[in-house]
Amino acid sequence: MERAAPSPPAPLLLLLAGLSLLVAPAGADVPMEACCADGHQMATQHRDCSLPYASESTQCRMIQEQCCHSQLEELHCATGINLASEQDSCSALPSNASLEAVFVKRCCHCCLLGREAQAKGQSCEYNLMVGYQCGLVFRACCVKGQETADFAPADNGDHQETAKMSEMAEDEQEDPYLNDRCRGGGPCKQQCRDTGKEVVCSCFVGYQLMPDGFSCEDVNECITGSHTCRFGESCINTVGSFRCQRDSSCGTGYELTEHNDCKDIDECESGIHNCLPDFICQNTLGSFRCRPKLQCKSGFIQDALGHCIDINECLSLSAACPVGHTCINTEGSYTCQKNVPNCGRGYHLNDDGTHCVDVDECSPPSEPCGAGHRCLNTPGSFRCECKSGYYFDGVSRTCVDINECRRYPGRLCGHRCENTPGSFHCSCSVGFRLAADGRSCEDVNECSSSPCSQECANVYGSYQCYCRRGYQLSDVDGVTCEDIDECALPTGGHICSYRCANVPGSFQCSCPSSGYRLAPNGRNCQDIDECVTGTHNCSINETCFNIQGSFRCLAFECPENYRRSADTPHQDKTDTIRCIKSCRPNDVTCMLDPVHTISHTVVSLSTFREFTRPEEIIFVRAITPAYPANHADIIFDITEGNLRDSFDIVKRYMDGMTVGVVRQVRPIVGPSQAVLKLEMSYVVGGVVSHRNVVNVHIFVSEYWF
């Protein structure tokens, strides 16, 4: 059903208007036309719309992506149109299922259809419901073919005019449906057709046009009665269509076909039967049967499993034998035996079958009492004289072995008792052996055979292996001693200061190749003081300073107006050289300089293996009391060399003196060195009266010891 619709504004303007609504609230400086141009450029240059968009605006990125996809579809479609126009075939299309291949193939096929319609003189108005874009391509290729046919070659005089007209036609044919009101779908929800006078909307099969002339709604075929469901089937409406569902199931042995019919299941062909290998499956309607492959002979009957079972004719047949005979069943048949007199126990018929005589149960080769026992025949019976270790059983009338182990439990053998015919045998548990009396058990000294790889201790009934120091007993056999890799133990990293090498039964620690020696305990590494041992190579003008694992040759010269102090204090971990200000007479500049002393000290530090809190490394003591009468304030500060703020200085009062404590607050991984410049300023009345400078040369070893 179609209905004319009022002419809508151009689809492109609608799209841009919608995008302007998205962009307007953001107040972005970039216009939406520029965002769309960026999307077109990305599609033209890269042929890929999945690349990241650089715009910070969410709305602009949305416009870029939509314009890029639109341009990319047009480029792919143009490739398909050119392929159809140049080769009159779509055989050169790529065989993959990519998005590009789908667009190129669709536009190529639609263009071929348009060219075919033009060649046959058919209308260029494409009425099939194949989509709006395919209709545009169909009409464009059809119209272009008509115009190409209309422009036949003219004479030479009209060549210029023809060329001009062709150029104008090409310009107009770049987008012949630019003002098509159905472009972009137009106002219609499903299908749109522009007749030139009006826009006509239509719906797909299974839908109907709504009163507004644009929208489509689903047709309920189950209510309208336009469905094709049969008797016994229920109609179920779906969007755009319907489906038929059978009211009742097919039952066992049947399956429902796609046409809602019940079809017998061939269990034999599908292999879902349960017939045994000796049976043949035979299909029946709704079921199957299992027929045996093997046929039984006469006198046998076949059971459900295909086995042949003998028929007892003496029970199944009436009067199988004549009177005076007894029926005896045999395999596959039966026999009739004549009845004879019944003799009592211990008697049997004589040879002529006239009377009963005694049976000699003791006559060879019969041994009713058992081998080795004496049998005495009696009328109608016999008696036995059993050997030692046996007793006569009146029920079975044989000599039965006496189980001494059960009759006298725990009294015959020390460990285990094993009954034997007519007697018993004693045995011992593992680790023991039978004593001379054949009953008691005595301990076996397993260590005499050296079962252990190192040390063995005999215990009652067994033995125990143990190992020397540095070895451990194997968990596999319990007798082999395996070397303990002390270096691989969880505490192996703390056994040696530097490196640990495992040796059979022990371990060996080693130190770096230079600057250290192994301590007397064989585990720790001790620094070698090259300055004391004289193994340094410092010159006469240089002072040797020992550091962890090495030494440094340093030469400290006092600056101008300073002289070296003779009383250089020596403290733990430090070697200090102090320069005291010594001004020349009348040198006012020197006298006004607040710096009184400049000191150099060397500190050697190790790389802390576990740095959890600040470490105090230097104590700078003031030469004045902590609370002098002139109320001078002492300020400590680090002015240079504090790389990455690895150190700080705090002021404390200790033993009546003001002390500046330099602390390491961050871990430093050696080897590394730094020169900290410390200033200790004496402030009186807000003015620095004098200042002492301490240059701390810090050397950090690469090791933690």
Given a cut of 60, whether residue 626 has pLDDT beyond it is: no
CA nearest neighbour of 502 among 470, 474, 466: 470
Q: What separation in angstroms does the CA of 564 have from each of 140, 561, 690?
A: 102, 10, 18
Most confidently predicted of 13-17, 327-331, 335-339: 327-331
| pLDDT computed for residue 480 by the predictor | 92
Q: Which residue has the higher pLDDT, 406 or 173?
A: 406
Task: Compute the average pLDDT of residues 499-512.
Answer: 90
Residue 160, amino acid = Q
Show the domain range for 439. Answer: 406-444
Domain membership flag for residue 610: yes
| pLDDT computed for residue 5 by the predictor | 40
Domain membership flag for residue 338: no
Q: How far apart are CA 177 and CA 187, in angstroms?
A: 16
| pLDDT computed for residue 579 by the predictor | 92
Q: Are 294 and 308 in contact (CB under 8 A)?
A: yes
Domain membership flag for residue 273: no
Please enumerate in sequence order all residues whose Cβ is within 8 A of that of 617, keeping only pairs 6 or more positions apart, or say none: 573, 603, 605, 647, 662, 663, 664, 698
Diameter of the chain measured on Cα atoms? 172
Task: Compute the average pLDDT of residues 442-461.
Answer: 91
- Considering the domain architecture, whether residues 629 and 517 belong to the same structural domain is answered as no
Q: How far apart are CA 175 and CA 183, in angstroms?
A: 11
- How many beta carbons lie within 10 A of that of residue 36, not counting itself? 21
Strand partners, 674: 698
Q: How far apart are CA 69 and CA 66, in angstroms?
A: 5
- Whichever domain contains 513, its CATH number is 2.10.25
Q: How far apart are CA 394 and CA 35, in angstroms?
A: 116
- Whichever domain contains 664, its CATH number is 2.60.40.60
Phi then psi for residue 110, to 5 deg, are -65, -35
Q: How sure is the predictor about 9, in pLDDT bands with cuts at 50, 70 and 90?
A: very low
- Considering the domain architecture, whether residues 583 and 503 belong to the same structural domain is answered as no
- Considering the domain architecture, whether residues 40 and 112 belong to the same structural domain is answered as yes
Q: Are 561 and 583 in contact (CB under 8 A)?
A: yes
Give the range among 29-38, 367-376, 467-476, 669-678 with minimum mean pLDDT. Answer: 29-38
Instruction: Quickly tell me which residue has 């450029």 as its tokens.
Output: 41
- Considering the domain architecture, whether residues 15 and 126 belong to the same structural domain is answered as yes
Q: How sure is the predictor about 30, in pLDDT bands with cuts at 50, 70 and 90?
A: low
Q: How far apart are CA 698 and CA 643, in angstroms?
A: 12
- Considering the domain architecture, whether residues 686 and 543 belong to the same structural domain is answered as yes
- Whichever domain contains 361, its CATH number is 2.10.25.10
Q: How far apart are CA 574 and CA 44, in angstroms?
A: 73
pLDDT tens-digit series, residues 556-612: 889 999 998 876 544 333 467 889 999 998 888 898 889 999 999 999 888 876 788
Q: How far apart are CA 82 and CA 87, in angstroms?
A: 8
Q: How far apart are CA 701 and CA 551, in angstroms?
A: 11
- Considering the domain architecture, whether residues 595 and 507 belong to the same structural domain is answered as no
- Considering the domain architecture, whether residues 607 and 575 belong to the same structural domain is answered as yes
Q: How far apart are CA 498 and CA 525, in angstroms?
A: 7
- Considering the domain architecture, whether residues 501 and 574 belong to the same structural domain is answered as no
Q: Are 355 and 349 in contact (CB under 8 A)?
A: yes
- Considering the domain architecture, whether residues 88 and 176 belong to the same structural domain is answered as yes
Q: How sure is the predictor about 520, in pLDDT bands with cuts at 50, 70 and 90?
A: very high
- Considering the domain architecture, whether residues 508 and 576 belong to the same structural domain is answered as no
Say how many domains are in the chain. Answer: 5
Given a cut of 60, whether residue 103 has pLDDT beyond it is: yes
- Considering the domain architecture, whether residues 123 and 49 belong to the same structural domain is answered as yes
- Considering the domain architecture, whether residues 513 and 386 belong to the same structural domain is answered as no
Domain membership flag for residue 274: no
Half-sphere exposure of 74 (CA within 13 A, CB side): 14
Q: Are 281 and 268 in contact (CB under 8 A)?
A: yes
Domain membership flag for residue 20: yes
Q: How far apart are CA 289 and CA 304, in angstroms?
A: 12
Given a cut of 60, whether residue 665 has pLDDT beyond it is: yes
What sign for the dihedral angle of Cα 218, 222, 224, 227? Answer: positive
Q: Which two three-digit tokens encode residue 683?
A: 């402030």
Given a cut of 50, whether residue 25 has pLDDT beyond it is: no
Domain membership flag for residue 609: yes
Q: What angle do CA 73, 75, 76 make, to 5 degrees?
A: 65
Given a cut of 90, whether residue 365 has pLDDT beyond it is: no
Domain membership flag for residue 282: no
Domain membership flag for residue 29: yes
Q: What separation in angstroms does the CA of 150 have from each of 99, 143, 145, 169, 541?
A: 36, 10, 9, 11, 109
Residue 612, amino acid = T
